[in-house]
Amino acid sequence: MTGTLLRPPEFQPNGGSVGGPSDDLFPDAEGEAAVPAHTTGILPAQEIRALVRNREIQATAKIDEEQIQPASLDLRLGRVAYRIPASFLPGVGASVMGRIRDFAMHQIDLMEGAVLERGCVYIVQLMEFLSLRGGLSATANPKSSTGRLDIFTRLIADRATVFDQVPAGYKGHLYVEIAPRTFSVVVRMGTRLNQLRLQRGNPPTSDQAIRRLHKSVPLVDSEPGKEVIDRGLAVTVDLAGGAAALVGYHARRHTDLIDLAKVNHYDWRDFWEPVHTDRRRTVILNPGDFYILASKEAVTVPPDHAAEMRAYDTQVGEFRVHYAGFFDPGFGYADCAGAGSRAVLEIRSFEVPFVLSDGQLVGRLVYDRLTAVPDKLYGPDIGSSYQRQGLNLAKQFRRT
């Protein structure tokens, strides 16, 4: 690499950051603190908003209300992407920028938009950064459209030894590793690829609690007593279509760029091949290929809970399921116009061809309690893209 690295804004835990305003975050918001119903759990929208007012969440530019989801915060790309030869974790005592100085091959200005090539790895400092009090931690996941485009993203914090985890009381910048796997994509400063879910304390999650919740609000539409709850609520794949029925999509290997800012723009046929089941209701997954399928079950997330689908379980099969694991409060909920919503499954096979059968277990949903019911729920009222979804591709593709 030649030249010098563009310097990102310095972290200032009590005064915003160099390069952008933070004093005017939610200038019209009232100052009262949110009153939680529970002392521990996932934080809802109103408590995330309070963290912004209290400067526990800061940014180099004003945080918009549309970034605040029912139980998560959308994170925005900063100005510079660093091309690196391989993924890394900084490790104890090390910073991400320090490792970037060691490894970066070149840097890309994202201000006007830039291409991130498939098969390459990039690190981008996010516009948001944290100054959390003790007891507050966070986890990250790709946004739904990110996962459906096979853009592998992972959050990295300074001194991190694991991806997608922010320890309690963390103070510092956040970074995202981006590795487009199938399509080369155009991104810009401000593009939102991943999201942060904040948690107070460490409330236990158990199958018993999920069973109680399912009795109160049916979480899937299986026959009573037929649901499988074992280390989470079982989700199976729907391959029951007839000879001409569409059951999924298989990504093409050589396609044009996808500009993430273009919504309802691309013809899906230029990027995907339709997947039809055979008479045995099976699909063979080719190693290294990417597929979009749907769950057999309609899924519901009640307003006082959030859910996450575990990305991979070696006991399920030789494939990875669901990059984008967060399900917000209100997803699939009838009162939020969501009845019948399926989980869209992003699936990539690993080393060997794998036969996937109709009704086969592909993942497990784990439900976590919120500290309070959010003041906004997933659905059309907040512009959610995938309520009442069936077998839906990312929002960049035209729905025909």
Q: What is the pLDDT of residues 103-129, one digit of tens each?
A: 989 999 999 999 999 999 999 999 999
Q: Which residue has the higher pLDDT, 224 or 397?
A: 397
Instruction: Enumerate domains of the chain plus CATH numbers.
Output: 41-200 (2.70.40.10), 207-382 (2.70.40.10)
Q: What is the pLDDT of residue 279?
A: 86
Three-class SS state of 200: strand
pLDDT given for residue 20 in this prediction? 41
Number of other CB atoms surrounding residue 257 within 10 Å:
14
Confirm if 61 and 20 have CB atoms less than 8 A apart: yes
pLDDT band of residue 352 (cuts 50, 70, 90) is confident
User: Taking residues 310-324, what's their average pLDDT?
Assistant: 63
What's the whole-number mean pLDDT along residues 146-159?
Answer: 96
The residue type of 274 is P
Interatomic CA distance for residues 14 and 232, integer angstroms: 40
Lowest mean pLDDT across 88-92, 188-192, 357-361 = 357-361
Closest of 169, 174, 177, 164 to residue 128, by C-alpha = 174
DSSP category for residue 223: P
pLDDT of residue 317: 63
Residue 89 contacts residue 164 (beta carbons within 8 Å) = no
Looking up tokens 């009795």 gives 215
* 8 A C-beta contact, residue 325 and residue 365: no
Q: Quick check: 345 and 363 in contact, CB under 8 A? A: yes
Backbone angles phi and psi of 98, in degrees to 5: -60, -40
Which of 28-32, 152-156, 253-257, 322-326 shows the lowest mean pLDDT across its residues?
Answer: 28-32
Contact 235/309 with Cβ under 8 angstroms?
A: yes
User: pLDDT confidence of 224, banded at 50, 70, 90?
Assistant: confident
Would you say residue 1 has pLDDT above 70?
no
Which tokens belong to 377? Answer: 């729920």
Is the CB of residue 26 less than 8 Å from the CB of residue 121? Answer: no
Nearest to 358 by CA among 261, 237, 275: 237
Quote the tokens at residue 51: 């963290």
Phi/psi at 97 (nearest 5 deg)? -65, -35
DSSP secondary structure string, 237-271? Answer: B-----TT-EEEEEE-SS---EETT--S-B-GGGT
User: For the chain, what is the mean pLDDT?
Assistant: 88
